[in-house]
Structure 1
Amino acid sequence: MKSTENREFSRQARREGVLAPVLQILQIWQRRAPLLTAGALLSLLALLIGLLLMRAAGLRVAAMTVGMLVVTTGALRIFGASRVILRYTERLVTHDAMFRALADVRVWFFRHLARGAAAGLGFRRAGDLLSRLVSDVEALDGLYLRIIIPLAGALLVLPFLFIAINMVDTELALVVSGLFACGAFGLPLLAAILGRREGGLVSHASAQLRIGVLDMVGGLREIATFGAEGRMRDHVHARDAALFRAQMRQARMLALAGAASYLCGQAAVVAVLAAALGLGLPRIAPLPAAAVLFLTVAAFESVGGLTRAGALAGSITRAAARVVAVGAMPEHAPPEGTEPAPAGTDIRFEHVTFRWDAHRQPVLDDLSLTIAAGERVAILGASGAGKSTLAALLLKVVAPEAGRITLGGQDIATIRDDDLRGRIAWLSQATHLFADTIRANLLLGRPDADEAELWAALEQARVADVVRDLPEGLDSWLGEGGASLSGGQGRRLALARVLLSRAPILILDEPATGLDARTEQEFLLTLNEVTRGRTVILIAHRLAGVEKLDHAWRISGGKMAGIGA
């Protein structure tokens, strides 16, 4: 399994670029550009003041040893106070800018996830999604705080350092500046190249561990039933060990990068001391030697984290790639419409062909179907026959390969997504109840509904008495997945939410799956009553015998055949 996952990771890594995801993240941050730029400028100004302070402090310390006064205490106080104020302001601005920028990334992530992952598209593993949303998004703060700002500082320090030392001695300026360039640019670049694979492996191993843990927690009942506790525990331990190994390799890389950067700084200090003693370099006077020494130490300290950041660049760029991957349009993505939804609700599938995989047979093959406004129809078929694909096409989650679908005579490809989905409500076997109050779950269907409308929907769904008996009524907490309700009660609550939407078209996708025979019949009888006057499309494996239908069709081999009603 380990080798398989590593091969999968390697293929993914080859597909991902390095700069393209980072540039896309920067584009998402575009609206925060003024705040991000202000933070960077404050950081550079604080850095410059710090260099001037260290140079002045070196001159004063050296001058005091020989009884001279080169720099006054007032000047040092001004430099010191300015640096403290600027550093504090810079931290406030940069971190505020980063928090806002990360919030923008999360909003972008959710928006694109909702567009591309509906009805099973996009991410299929909750652990991987959680890893991208939490760990990968949080890792992006390093792009600005650990790479962009320190790199901008290094670009400022290098010419300042060379000019300041060149005023004392050109040869020493070249040596120190060369070592600085090596520590600030060369070593970080090398660390980024060498550390990209390790950083990517850490992200991959972390996601795999989350997937394993969530699978284990979500399937505890099944694991206990089949006595698989030991196997699942070993599986999670193996993924934890893989993450530990990846982190250890990355830690060694970080240690080596930090050591190399430290040695560059120490070599520059040795060069300055050698020049002060006249060993191998032109001798310089004590006063400028002290100023150069203090300035050199401050300069290298300002970029000491860049080499380490370079080693972490692999994790950051990989995190950026994993986050922006959600924005990639699915293979079957429908076009974004611009027209409002028409008044009519007649539905027509005109010679529609669709396949999920280009290498397989079509799920729907030249299928035509007409559903008049207000009709109640059933679409039957075996698993994989294409029943739910019809719903996905009608909801404009995917687009047909050939043919078209019309609503009220208008091609749904031209209709705005929100307008289209405002005319269609969907209830499925997997309808989710959120870990929130009953009221909040109902308001998802129509946020402006008042309390009377909420109770009316509950009455229609025949679950009002259950809600009244709860201690907090509408404000009762449901628990994760509606755990405080039975399966039938939860399905009725989901139905009440659908009824609140007032959509003229209802798609009922296996709405009674998982219910016992008696609860299923009661639920379907309720559906018969509360859906009068609306177009109802019932998708099911079989009929229970209590449905009131105008037409019924069976899908097989991509074709539709009428079976009577």
Structure 2
Amino acid sequence: MLRDLIRVLGLWRGRGWWLLAGMVAAVASTLAGVALLVLAGRVVGGAVAAGEAGAFALAGLGFAALLWLRPVMLFRPVARYLERLVTHEATFRALADMRVWFFARLAARLPRGIGLRQAGDLLGRLVADVESLDGLYLRVIVPAASSLAVVVAIVFVVGAADAGLAALLALPLAAALLLPLLLAPAAARAGNDVARAQGSLRNAVVDPLSGIEDTLAANAEARAGARVSAEGEALAAAQRDLARRAAWGGAAGSLLVQVALLGALGWALIAGQQGLAAGLMGVFLAIAAAEALGLMPRAGAAMAAAGAGARRLFEAADTPEPVPDPVAPAAAPAGHALRVTGLRFRWADDRPLVFDGLDLELPEGARIALLGPSGSGKSTLAALLLKLAEPEAGRITLGGVDIATLPAAELRRRVTWLTQDARLFDDTIAANLRLAAPAADDAALWSALDRAQVGEVVRALPDRLETMCGEGGLRFSGGQARRLALARTLLAPASIVILDEPAAGLDADTERAFLETLDDALGGRSVILIQHHLLGVERPTRILRLAGGRAIPAAG
């Protein structure tokens, strides 16, 4: 757990000044509260020690104390406000950085999609597990810094008057400060149980909702609800266990603070006239320490939750990249002629070969139609050309340069892929198009839409480019959604376009109209058209058929 939390702090180093500023503000606020009670303790202790002259002593000390108390009283709320402001700003910035880092790691490790990873689980890691890390800073580090400052202040302030009293106060308070470390191992196990239960509950909710049509068609909503109920009960049980441990920790911390308070009271009662003032000041300091140190025992549960969240994040983020970038990348090629030589590939060691000695050549400006039934490797070839997978033998070159020596980002600037299930996201048309060209202006967007022959459809919409597409492009018909996806592909600067079943799911007339659009829309780019069969409107320069892991010339 500690190793994971230390790694989290390392990822937050870019926000180090914000995190440090929050700790400083918290320490300043806490010490201001201590200072207030130190001044009060000096006044009351001095007055009580003066006996019958106490009233006169109190009156004499009143004006001098007021000179100190006023600025401290004014500083205390300001420091508390700054503490809240800066610590939460630091936390929000650190967590935002963490989400971006985690998303980037997932994107590099899941190039073919979520696959065997469950969507609800990944969503939980990206949201809940990242949010659990706020407890590491707000409920562990900041209170620990404040509590340590209080203990040190007590040692110096009380120690100057009476070393025995300082030890009597500092020992139980130091124990309260260290209590989270003692409680953390057991709390960590409970925190892991909560994190796992949260992931299971999210899966139980997201999976049937993602396929709600199938769930309803199978009359399975009752079974899905029962699963949600069972996972919810398991989560509640795990949360009760963690809360129970946190409560025991809080009780133990409160007991230790009370021990310090009672010790100071006892010292004041038995110390006599000479030690009475110091004893009463110790009482006030123990009261001041209760605010900061009272939070520390519960920090053990917060640390456990943060540790469990960090472990789940790193578990997903540290899976090996399927195709890591080269350590010393080659220079970008000048041309974009594509050549595949002796390609051999399978998706797993226990699965059959998809390609066994595949050879393929795509000259600049050529258009190849690649035909074959499902499972013949058409989409697999597209994944290999974009370095979403890595061949076990053979070479793929772009402009004469082996793509294994090129960074994935450089390769994907030159090769783009319109997948057979190209997705429109729940955003505006403009935002969906700019995924391919973030700097594209509106004129470029309209040009791409017109080339995809969907410009007039968008112009007829009340919000035009700002029209929301809906989740999965549900705002549009299948043919319109495919043309919008094509427009996005046309915006990419790539010289090679892979069209993977571009008209999949469309009716025959819409499919034919869409394929007729491609010839003019793609201009002089090199094209690999992946199809089950040709309709006669595609006009490729060469037709190949995939069979037995090889590409064989075909007539159509």
Normalising by the residue count of structure 1, what TM-score does the alignment of the two structures yield? Answer: 0.88
CA contact (8 A) 2:268 2:277 kept: no
Q: Does 1:290 align with 2:280?
A: yes
CA contact (8 A) 1:142 1:316 kept: yes
2:336 to 329, 345, 358: 345
- More displaced, 446-455 or 29-38? 446-455
Aligned partner of residue 23 in structure 1, secondary structure: helix
Give the equivalent residue in structure 1 for 2:244: 252
Give the equivalent residue in structure 2 for 1:101: 94
Amino acid at match of 1:261: G
Question: Judging changes above 3 Å, is the alpha-carbon distance between structure 1 residues 476 and 120 closer, same or farther for their aligned structure 2 residues?
Answer: closer
- More displaced, 544-553 or 386-395? 544-553
Amino acid at match of 1:418: A
Question: Judging changes above 3 Å, is the alpha-carbon distance between structure 1 residues 275 and 230 closer, same or farther for their aligned structure 2 residues?
Answer: same
Q: Does 1:520 align with 2:511?
A: yes
CA contact (8 A) 2:39 2:65 kept: no
Q: Does 1:334 align with 2:324?
A: yes
List runs of 5+ in structure 2 lacking aligned partners.
Answer: none
Q: Does 1:323 align with 2:306?
A: no
Q: Please list, as runs of the form range in 1=range in 2, the aligned pairs for 1:31-110 lying within 5 A after superposition.
A: 31-65=14-48, 66=51, 67=54, 68-69=57-58, 72-110=65-103
1:489 to 455, 460, 480: 480
Amino acid at match of 2:501: E
Deviation at 1:107, TM superposition (A): 2.4
Q: Please list, as runs of the form range in 1=range in 2, the aligned pairs for 1:234-313 lying within 5 A after superposition.
A: 234-278=226-270, 285-313=275-303
Residues in 2 aligned to 1:462 and 1:33: alpha-carbon distance in whole angstroms: 51
2:212 to 199, 203, 220: 220
Question: Judging changes above 3 Å, is the alpha-carbon distance between structure 1 residues 555 and 178 closer, same or farther for their aligned structure 2 residues?
Answer: farther
Alignment deviations for residues 54-111 of structure 1 (CA, whole Å, 9 cap, x no partner): 2221222233344134662222223322323222223222222222222222222333
Amino acid at match of 1:32: R
Give the equivalent residue in structure 1 for 2:8: 25
Q: Please list, as runs of the form range in 1=range in 2, the aligned pairs for 1:390-405 lying within 5 A after superposition.
A: 390-405=381-396
Give the equivalent residue in structure 2 for 1:202: 194
Alignment deviations for residues 465-508 of structure 1 (CA, whole Å, 9 cap, x no partner): 32233233333222222111111111111111112224221111
- More displaced, 352-361 or 428-437? 352-361
Aligned partner of residue 539 in structure 1, secondary structure: strand
Question: Judging changes above 3 Å, is the alpha-carbon distance between structure 1 residues 384 and 245 closer, same or farther for their aligned structure 2 residues?
Answer: farther
2:447 to 430, 444, 456: 456
Deviation at 1:53, TM superposition (A): 2.1
Amino acid at match of 2:295: G
Q: Does 1:192 align with 2:184?
A: yes
Alignment deviations for residues 8-46 of structure 1 (CA, whole Å, 9 cap, x no partner): xxxxxxxxxx23432332222222212222222232233
Q: How many residues align?
A: 545
Question: Judging changes above 3 Å, is the alpha-carbon distance between structure 1 residues 285 and 110 closer, same or farther for their aligned structure 2 residues?
Answer: same
Q: Please list, as runs of the form range in 1=range in 2, the aligned pairs for 1:139-154 lying within 5 A after superposition.
A: 139-154=132-147
Q: Does 1:174 align with 2:164?
A: no
- More displaced, 324-333 or 399-408? 324-333
Residues in 2 aligned to 1:156 and 1:122: alpha-carbon distance in whole angstroms: 50
Residues in 2 aligned to 1:471 and 1:341: alpha-carbon distance in whole angstroms: 44
Deviation at 1:383, TM superposition (A): 4.2
- Counting aligned pairs with the same residue, the percent is 45
Aligned partner of residue 112 in structure 2, secondary structure: helix
Amino acid at match of 1:439: A
1:127 to 107, 120, 124: 120
Give the equivalent residue in structure 2 for 1:7: none
Aligned partner of residue 453 in structure 2, secondary structure: coil
Residues in 2 aligned to 1:432 and 1:478: alpha-carbon distance in whole angstroms: 10
1:467 to 437, 458, 466: 458
Normalising by the residue count of structure 2, what TM-score does the alignment of the two structures yield? Answer: 0.90
Residues in 2 aligned to 1:236 and 1:552: alpha-carbon distance in whole angstroms: 51
Deviation at 1:361, TM superposition (A): 4.3
Residues in 2 aligned to 1:117 and 1:323: alpha-carbon distance in whole angstroms: 14
Amino acid at match of 1:33: G
CA contact (8 A) 1:168 1:284 kept: no
Aligned partner of residue 81 in structure 1, secondary structure: helix
Residues in 2 aligned to 1:362 and 1:283: alpha-carbon distance in whole angstroms: 93
Amino acid at match of 1:49: A
Deviation at 1:267, TM superposition (A): 1.8
Give the equivalent residue in structure 2 for 1:430: 421
- More displaced, 552-561 or 417-426? 552-561
Give the equivalent residue in structure 2 for 1:14: none
Deviation at 1:464, TM superposition (A): 2.7
Deviation at 1:219, TM superposition (A): 1.9
Residues in 2 aligned to 1:396 and 1:239: alpha-carbon distance in whole angstroms: 39
Amino acid at match of 1:161: I
Alignment deviations for residues 110-152 of structure 1 (CA, whole Å, 9 cap, x no partner): 3333333222268843322322222222222221121112222
Give the equivalent residue in structure 1 for 2:436: 445
Aligned partner of residue 352 in structure 1, secondary structure: strand
CA contact (8 A) 2:356 2:550 kept: yes
Deviation at 1:358, TM superposition (A): 4.1
Residues in 1 aligned to 2:446 and 2:74: alpha-carbon distance in whole angstroms: 64
Aligned partner of residue 381 in structure 2, secondary structure: helix
CA contact (8 A) 2:387 2:408 kept: yes
Alignment deviations for residues 284-330 of structure 1 (CA, whole Å, 9 cap, x no partner): 73211110011122123212112111122121012223334454253
Alignment deviations for residues 356-387 of structure 1 (CA, whole Å, 9 cap, x no partner): 33454444344333222222223344544433
CA contact (8 A) 2:105 2:317 kept: yes
Question: Judging changes above 3 Å, is the alpha-carbon distance between structure 1 residues 149 and 556 closer, same or farther for their aligned structure 2 residues?
Answer: farther
Residues in 1 aligned to 2:222 and 2:36: alpha-carbon distance in whole angstroms: 62
Amino acid at match of 2:5: V
List runs of 5+ in structure 1 lacking aligned partners.
Answer: 1-17
Aligned partner of residue 265 in structure 1, secondary structure: helix
Give the equivalent residue in structure 2 for 1:15: none
Amino acid at match of 2:121: D
